[in-house]
Chains A and B, each alone.
Chain A
Amino acid sequence: MQERRNLPQMEVIQELLLPVTRTTMWMWIGFIVLGTILAAFAFAVAWMFYWGIGVTGLNRPGMWGFMIVDFVFWIGISHAGVMISAILRLTQAEWRRPVTRAAEVMTMFSLMTAMTLPFIHTGRPWRTAYWVFPYDFWRGIFPDVRSALVMDPSAVFTYLTGTILFIYITTVPDIATLRDRSTGWRKGLYRVLALGWQNDERQWMIQAATGFLLAALMLSIFVSVHSIVSWDFSFSLDPVWHTSVWAPYFVIGAVHSGVSAAVTLMVLMRWMFGFDKYIREEHFDAIGRLLVVVATAWVFFFMLDVFFALFNQDPRETAVMKMRFEQWPYTLMLVLIFVFGYFIPVPIWMFRKFRRNIKLMFWTSIMVNIGMWSERYWLVVPGLERKYEWTFDWNFYRPGIVEITIILGTFALVPFLFMCFSKIFPPVSIWEEKEGQNFLQEIKVGKASIPAIVREF
């Protein structure tokens, strides 16, 4: 049974503009709770900048801890936007319509959050800038420009620039709608941002072509970003890091966590903005089926990583693997990875009835991201926490309260920024929803009416 139905265009506009025009009680609660956590985050960062990186649990040899793990995690979450928006746009999947904007915005804010983490991690970001700029090419003492650590910021900045452009291009028609319905400073803002959009055929053609081209371009950037993040680790000769599978493994893991985060966001938008007519059970059904495939591919790459680390029985690799499998807290993390990341959600998503259960989808999507955060920790931290012939100083990494607060802050920052965005721009694309309403068709087969879509060829 399909829940979709034809809605009057004016009703679509009014309902989808609701977060911009009205601040619901849930939004107020959200702003206050998230704002409080962000205040703690700002205090923790300031505290660390003042006292230095010694207030964290980072110490030799484990110099990459919570903040780098969280950086990898948020880069992963950022893959949802492109996965859902670009791929589903290119493949003309109809169910993408209510999801794309929110996923793209989540991409943008996740990337911004991710990019703050390496800067905070340095402990003295202003000194990092002083050391890095101007970049010393000629003396050869700085990291080689071919190093992943140099490629990484370039890729992430390109991704962010592309994402902002992509969101902007796909939001212009909605900004024009807002311009025509607002007054005061908002009208001025929307007038500038709408770039003279008059809804004529030529503008629609240019907008569609640009969106399509950007989607195709973003796909290649999307793959390259997380590949390069993985190469931060695997270009080194560290045991269990120096492996060729990490690039696609990180990408598929990112898609798994990112699409799950999009499910969480979809449920929250239903609850917070009352978008039940637009984000329907059929959308969760479709995204659930996609997640079954993505999760299974992720497990395949996970198994490849583990099996081929042990493949030639190198003592150093075996030692780290042993630590990952047998030592606290990695044992717990391994359980979380498998149970939360695959063995609970995927069997649930196999059944249509459960895929259409909103609460179940919400909790399974949260579980996946707990599992995926653990996976990032399980991959990154033990790689440095090993003893070998030249180790002179050694300790386990244990995160401090400052790091924990910073991490909690990042989890508050993304939804906070998303809510701020929703106060200025519609979080569900109005024009795409209206287009989808126009494309609604039905075919009679015997006595049954089958939902149908328009296809151009």
Chain B
Amino acid sequence: MATVTGGHHVPEPSPVTRAWDYTPGQLVRDGLQRLRAKGQWYRISLIILAILTVIGIIALIVQAIASGWGDRENWGYVAVAFGYIMSTVAAAPCVCVAGRLTRAHWRRPIDRISEIWAAAMIVPAILFLLLMWTVPNTHGRPTIWFGWWAAPYLWDAILVLGLAFTGYALLYVSSIPDLAIARAQIEDGSANWLTRKAEGFFGTQSQWRVIERAVAYLGAFYVVMYIGTMTVIAADFIMSLIPGYKSAIFPAYFAISGFGGGVAVVVVTASIMRLWGGAEDYLGREQFFALAKIQLALGLLFAYFIWTDFVIPWYGRMPWEILQIRLLYFDSYLWYFVAAFALCFISPLVLLMWTKLRRGRVGPFIVSSGVLIGLLADRIRLFSSAFSDKDITEDRLHALPPVLHPGVLDWLIVIGAIAACIALVMLAMRLIPVPSIWEMTEGTRLRARRRFHNVEVTIIGKPDY
């Protein structure tokens, strides 16, 4: 058990989350303290991220002025930034949804770390609105919309903006009890403006029931929206821009690899929170072990979906299928594919298959960092091949289009977009306690240590609601 001496926790060498032994009062004090106290490094990081964001915005404006919306290939790396953020930041909240739906106990310290990434959903929404003008209408080319009115623009916009809105709603609703705690406990006037949004919450039984149901339904809806949105992005922004590319597995691959990115974001954030965010008592090996298992499973699915996407045209051997394979896997984007495959599949498999590495904190962090890099390479492979210069009204590829390598402006846009997301999440951490106070408190009540024959084991309550 951790002891509290003068506000400092003295950690004991325990593999499990030490915060399970906290009292509710300790959890509240600790959560509010972390909300108020942000150190010098926090400010320095935020300034650097703000500068990178501004540089990215300037690069984007320069790009727009220099090339306009007419040349789609100039927007290839804006699409990469959009696709990458959709595959990482937007997927991160799905981790807490999965944990809540399966009633996993280990998820509690992770939930807020996962859903707080919804705070950055404004970034992909803005990038999407810019990119929308680069995608041609559906006349004379393959499409999943089959003549729907205002397709693809209106429907894509509804999905992307709807996803962003649902993400914000999920974050807000699940934060209401913690904001109410902050409103009630912070009496010196320093409570942030967001706590006022929880004024009506007093923790009555009916309010709790509403919160629990709203969090569950919003979460499930978010995941469904995410899969739907990734499906149309895969179809409208990638597949329909490569003549003859018809792979029904591709949207599912795009979504599944996004889930892998989401888990990686959560693992990396949790590692940083543990090291520098004062959450070492909350994030034990238990969380990293569970997340690593999911990462391993998603890595295997990544390979399985890639394989099925590859093997069907490889067996088909029609000339346009061979060109399609050469474009996506071999000639044009070979090294991007190799990087993606090695970091998103080989590395999780080779490292995380060992229980010892899964149980540690370093193994999952290294693998997840690799997954985030691999996923960027994968999104470059996919969006660049889609946005490269070619006639998209042709029914098949007749020659390999030129490879779109990133220029300086492109890198600045991609880095700026990522920096904007991280900055928004850091700002959100000023307003909302991370990890969640109410979920941790609930967790402490449902957990006990007991003797079981000759050993001491953990007993976990599973309310049957």
Contacts and interface: CB of A to CB of B under 8 A. Distances in A.
Interface-central residue, A227, A451, A453, by most chain B CB under 10 Å: A453
Given A308-B248, A311-B143, A242 B316 contact: yes
A242 B248 contact: no
Interface in A226-264: 227, 231, 234-235, 237, 242-245, 247-248
Interface string B376-416: 00000000000000000001000000000000000000000
B251 A304 contact: yes
A456 interface: yes
B459 A454 contact: yes
A305 interface: yes
Interface string B419-449: 0000000000000000000000000011110
Contact of A248 (B146, B246, B305): B305
A274 B446 CA distance: 34
Nearest to A282: B464
Nearest to B285: A457
B463 interface: yes
Interface stretch (B67-75, B116-124, B335-343, B450-458): B450-458
Nearest to A293: B101
B315 interface: yes
A455 B106 CA distance: 11
A240 B414 CA distance: 39
A443 B461 contact: yes
A235 B464 CA distance: 47
A391 interface: no
A453 B459 CA distance: 5
B165 to A, nearest CB: 22
B142 interface: yes
A457 B450 contact: no
Interface residues of A, number: 38
B148 to A, nearest CB: 12
A378 to B, nearest CB: 16
A445 B445 CA distance: 7
Nearest to B289: A457
Contacts of B309: 244
Interface string A299-315: 01100110111111100
B327 to A, nearest CB: 16
Contact of A309 (B16, B235, B248): B248
B459 A452 contact: yes
Contacts of B463: 450-451
A274 B231 CA distance: 47
Interface in B261-288: 285-286
Contacts of B246: 308, 311-312
B461 A445 contact: yes
A199 to B, nearest CB: 15
A1 interface: yes
B304 interface: yes
A301 B249 CA distance: 8
Contacts of A301: 252
Contacts of A242: 312, 316
A450 B105 CA distance: 14
Interface of A: 1-2, 223, 227, 231, 234-235, 237, 242-245, 247-248, 282, 293, 300-301, 304-305, 307-313, 441, 443, 445, 450-457
Interface of B: 15-16, 101, 105, 142-144, 146, 227, 231, 235, 239-240, 244, 246-252, 285-286, 289, 304-305, 308-309, 311-313, 315-316, 318, 395, 445-448, 450, 452, 457-464
